[in-house]
Structures are given as structure tokens and as C-alpha cells.
Amino acid sequence: MAMAGSAIGLGNIWRFPYMVGQGGGSAFIIVYLLSTLLISLPIFLSEAAIGRKTHKSTFGAMQRLAPGTPWRWLGLLTVISPLIILSYYSVVGGWSVEFLLKSLTFSFSSGDEAQIMGFFGSFISSPWGPLACHTAFLGICTLIVVAGVKKGIEKFSTWTMPVLFLLVVFLMVYALTLPGSKAGVDYLLKPDFSKLTASAVASAMGQSFFSLSLGVGTILTYASYVHEKENLLTTGLGTAGFDLLFALIAGFAVMPAVFAAGIEPAAGPGLVFETLPYIFAKMGASTPWLSGVVSILFFLTILVAAVSSAISMLEVGVAYLVEEKNFSRTKAVCVLFAGCWLLGALCSLSFGPLANVKILGETLFSFCDKLTSNFLMAFGGLLFTLFAGWRMKKADVRGELRAGKAFGLLYFLIRYIAPAAIIVIFLTNLFL
Ligand code: TRP
């Protein structure tokens, strides 16, 4: 459940549905499924095998399996990358806190539609509100992680994941009953192979990679807590299955509503924080109660999905400080809270007062996003598959995966196919 929680996040709700529509509907979904099975699953299993073999987080695992080699830099890199992701992810998590609070007072269900749609732009460019919400979001994650792996992360995930599914299923059923929703279903399902360009294929691979939280040691760290008797292959298949299922249901919750309201779908923050409030406002004109309740449930879904991903990013650094630097759990979490809060605060301000501060032409928020999503994750994923495929003993990998007859195929994917595919994604991101 915790691994599913890490995988299910903002990526499923605001990126996947749009990408499916743009990339040729079910044609894109088939490519996505193939990339998950042939590329993401082998990376997932590489990380998981390393983590469970050593029962250590990234840095310790590298020290144990390849002591005194440059592999320790991979250990360090993967301590730092999830913390960078967490810093800007927490800013977005903070926006969902604000939108949940606003929906609790039914603010989206009564009022002028254009004004409600414009709220997002004015909110994120103001300094204090977003900073307070970023602090609150990171604070929630900190409290969960400080409570421990079993009593915090696992407990939170086992309680919230089923609720999250119920919520999103309810939203889907509701959206599908709206008049005009059929166009949204067609948008997601109608196969259109002409839209399946090389760049759509590369984005299917990249999305599957991002969505399964690969390449930054999250899966490795969680797997280090997994008991010997569990089967990693079923864990991997289960996580990938839940993740895809959730993404599809989220797609059927969002896109039919967008089309029923007669607007063009957008990607990213605009879809969740502008288009949907507009829809709630439109609904609110005739059924304010229903619109209010649906908006609360929707932003609650986003918040829970974001928290369950964010705690997995925090745990990687916490595990490092506790295992390698002998920090107490509380001290480790507090130190990381301070660091991520600061970087996140700067990212948050980069939508307003710091909008003119650019790194390589990007604001700090978008620099952190691009650096991690396009490069550090791909780089980390590549090194993990190379490590499991070429550096670890084959018998150890076999012993961890316990995949029976499928091991030969999986090992081939880990050694050759996944690394080659990551290089392709990497180059596509670099040149497109
Ligand atoms: N998978 C998450 C999503 O879809 C994002 C995420 C969670 C993540 N943990 C991660 C991304 C670790 C990279 C690394 O939103």
C-alpha cells in the first residue's frame, strides 16, 4: 500500500489523462502498458532487489554491495534527488491544501466563473498564502514520517489508499453521468494511431517512469523494509497495476467533466486548479450543494494522493540520516524539513516576487522540476538497472526476485532493454 501510495500522485491526476488524449487514446494506453512491463517494471525490480538484499537505504546499500567504489555517488545522488522533488512537490501540495480549504467553505460553488478560474493565478503569485500552505503540507508529511515506518507511513497508506480509490471511483461515476460526458470518454479511449508519434511514445515511457516513482531510491528504500517472505515481483506488478488503474479512473473522473462543461482540456496545474474550479462554479449555478461536496472530495483526493507520494520522498533522506549518520528519527525529519522548506519556499516565491530569478532560463520551480523529472530520475534509473544487471551477483538478483521461469526474461530486460530505453528517453528529453 505504501508503494502504491508513492506511485499514485499528482502525475496520475493531472498528467496521465491529458497525455492519453493527446497521444492517441487507447493506442497510447497500450504503449504505456508495454513500457510499464518492459521498462518500468525491470527498473522497479532492480531497485527493489538492491533494497531488500541489503535492508539498507540507497547509500548504505551501495556501500554494502560495492564498497569503496564510485557507486557510492549513486547512493548520495539518490538521497538528494527526492529531496529536491519534495521541495517543489510540497509547493503544489500546498496549493491543494488551499483549494481544499476554499472548497470546504463552498467557495467554488457560488460566484463568478471567470473570477473563480482566475483565482489560481493570483493566489500562486502572492507571497504569503502559498508559503503558509507549503509549510502546512510539509508539516503534515513530517508528522507522518516522524511517527515511523510502521506507525506512520504504513498506517497512513493502509488507511488512505482504499479511501482514495473509493473517492476517485465516486468522482468517476458522477462525471460519467453528466450530460455530454461521452466526448471525454472518447477522448480517452478512441484509438488514434496517427497521434502516436515518436515523442508520444517517449512521453509514455517517461510518464510510466515518473508515475512509478523510479530512479531516486524511493522504491529501494521502501523495499529495504520488505520482509524476506514477500514476493517482489508480485509487489511490483501490484504497484504498477494499482497505479495504472488509478490513473485510468482519475482520467474518467476528470475528462468527461471537462468535456461536459464544453471546454478544452489542459495539462498540469491548469487542469486541476483552473479548469475544474470553473466546472464547479458552473455546476454550482444549478446545484450548489452537489458542486460543493464534489469539490471537497476532489481536492481531498488530490491532497491525499500528494501526501502519500511526498512521504516516500522524505523517507529516503530520513533513512540515510538514521542509518548512516546515527541521527534520531525525529532529528533527521526536522533537519530535512528545514532544508526542503527553504528550497520549497524559494520555489513557491518563484511564481511571484522571485519570478525574475532564472537558472538556465527557468524559474527555480521549473528548474527543479525539469532537473529531476527529465534528468536525475532517468540517470538514477539507468544506474540502478546497470547495478542490478551487471554489478550485483546474478544469484542474488534471482534470490530476491524469485520470479521462477520468468527470471531469464526479466534479467534480460534489466540488463539490456531497460537501460537502452532510458538512454532513449534521456536523449529525447535532451533534444526535444
Ligand atoms: N509517482 C508520483 C506521482 O505520480 C510522484 C513521485 C512520488 C515521485 N515519489 C516520487 C516522483 C519519487 C519521483 C520520485 O505523482
Report the alpha-carbon distance of residue 299 to residue 7 in Å, rounded. 18
Report the alpha-carbon distance of residue 382 to residue 380 in Å, rounded. 5
Q: Judge if the beta carbon of residue 235 lies within 6 A of ligand 1.
A: no
Q: Judge if the beta carbon of residue 303 lies within 6 A of ligand 1.
A: no
Whether the pLDDT of residue 267 is over 80: the answer is no
Q: How confident is the model at residue 426, as a pLDDT? A: 83
Q: How confident is the model at residue 292, as a pLDDT? A: 94
Alpha carbon of 334 to ligand 1 centroid (Å): 22
Confidence of residue 40 (pLDDT cuts 50, 70, 90): very high
Q: What are phi and psi of 216, to 5 degrees?
A: -125, 15
Identify the helix (H) or strand (E) that includes residue 341: helix 329-349
Report the alpha-carbon distance of residue 231 to residue 297 in Å, rounded. 34
Which pTM does this prediction carry?
0.94
Q: How confident is the model at residue 117, as a pLDDT? A: 86
Q: How confident is the model at residue 245, as a pLDDT? A: 96
Whether the pLDDT of residue 432 is over 80: the answer is no
Helix, strand and coil percent figures for the chain, each rounded to 5: 80, 0, 20
Identify the helix (H) or strand (E) that includes residue 369: helix 364-370
C-alpha cell of residue 409: 526474461
Let me know: does 266 contact 35? Beta carbons within 8 Å: no
203-233: pLDDT as tens digits: 899 899 999 999 999 999 999 999 999 999 9
Which amino acid residue places its CA nearest to atom 3 of ligand 1? 9
158-188: pLDDT as tens digits: 999 999 999 999 999 999 999 999 999 999 9
C-alpha cell of residue 12: 496520475
| Residue 22 vs residues 35, 66, 426: alpha-carbon distances, Å | 17, 43, 21
C-alpha cell of residue 53: 538484499
Alpha carbon of 373 to ligand 1 centroid (Å): 9
Let me know: does 311 contact 142? Beta carbons within 8 Å: no
Alpha carbon of 377 to ligand 1 centroid (Å): 10
β-partners of residue 359 are 362
62-74: pLDDT as tens digits: 999 999 999 999 9
Q: How many CB atoms lie within 10 A of CB 425?
A: 24
Helix, strand or coil for residue 287? coil
Alpha carbon of 8 to ligand 1 centroid (Å): 8
Report the alpha-carbon distance of residue 242 to residue 203 in Å, rounded. 20
